[in-house]
Amino acid sequence: QTMLLGIPLSLTPMHRGGRGAEWVAGLSALEEDEIPLSFDDQMTRAMNHADRVQVNFYMESQCPGCRIYTSIVLANLMRSEEFRNMIDLKVFPFGNGILYSDDTVDCQHGEAECIGNRLIACMQQHYPITDEDQRGFLAAMSCIATSSDDPEIAAPKCCVEGKLDYDVVRQCAYGKEGQELQLQAAKDTYGLDPPHQWSPWITLNGQPVLHKAWELLPQVCDKYTGPKGELCRNLEEDKKVTVVDGEKVVLTQQGQQVEGSGR
């Protein structure tokens, strides 16, 4: 069947009644339809952080590819607690911007993108993903990615959806802290070795995965050294997870779609 970014079109929101800019509506609410653990919870809690894969996401707020990657690839995978327990995620909102020698920056898509980058950086700074809050800022960031509005307009509503305090985020983004976070993201992006070639750019444990970023789960499973659950075991059985949909993990095997419980 026809696929979009490895996801069957029949399962994407545009084929569930969405239209135009609303085609990814609803994907930002990570707390809804969460995929439960597919193996013993005790094992999950015992996982050592040293086993986790460091996933670094180099992006920019107005980049169409970054928006798709955020709202489809990351948002869907991060609904699975099993996946969240395999990774540590950090976002670097700068992308293809320019860093000048005087520590000023220009963003690829203009000042609206710079504001969006600072908003995302501040969300991450004040509402990071932790063991206690495994969703952190990501729901609000995904909401911004799916919005047809500029990030500055979308941010208040998206903070409400993501259960963040917009006043905290706003004061950071429009103040000195936001400028410092923007500069640090720029320096971290410029410091990549090898350099990034495009946005979205994904590294796992410091190494770029290039176009394989769109198949993030197999890359994470391959590098994860802790006890593996159903998501990774299915891959080892020559199956490929293409999307997490509701309470089902939808897989493809030998070109045909099959469904398996996410539990």
- Concatenated DSSP letters of 157-174: HHHHHTT--HHHHHHHHT
Q: What is the pTM of this model?
A: 0.76
By C-alpha distance, which of 211, 209, 210 is closest to 221? 209
Mean pLDDT of the chain: 80
Amino acid at 111: E
- C-alpha 146/C-alpha 254 separation (Å) is 32
The more confidently predicted of residues 242 and 64 is 64
Residue 209: pLDDT over 80: yes
- Looking at residue 248, what is its pLDDT? 44
Residue carrying the six token digits 């015992």: 46
Q: Tell me what pLDDT residue 16 has.
A: 34
CA distance 126 to 118: 12
CA 130 to chain centre: 15
pLDDT of residue 34: 54
CA distances from 113 to 59, 153, 235, 254 (A): 11, 12, 37, 41
| 100/81: higher pLDDT | 100
pLDDT band at 225, cuts 50/70/90?
very high
Looking at residue 199, what DSSP letter applies? S
Tell whether the model's pLDDT for residue 168 goes beyond 50.
Answer: yes
Pairing of strands 256-261, 248-253: antiparallel
**What does the pLDDT read at residue 35?**
52
| Region of poorest pLDDT, from 31-35, 50-54, 133-137, 202-206 | 31-35
Is residue 183 within 8 A of residue 191, CB to CB? The reply is no
Instruction: Tell me which of 17-26, 31-40, 43-52, 66-75 is least confident.
Output: 17-26
At residue 158 the predicted structure's pLDDT band, cuts being 50, 70 and 90, is: very high
User: Average pLDDT, stretch 79-93?
Assistant: 94
**For 203, which DSSP code?**
E
Tokens in use for 24?
């990814």
pLDDT higher than threshold 90 for residue 181: yes
236: pLDDT confidence band, cut at 50, 70 and 90?
confident
pLDDT of residue 110: 96
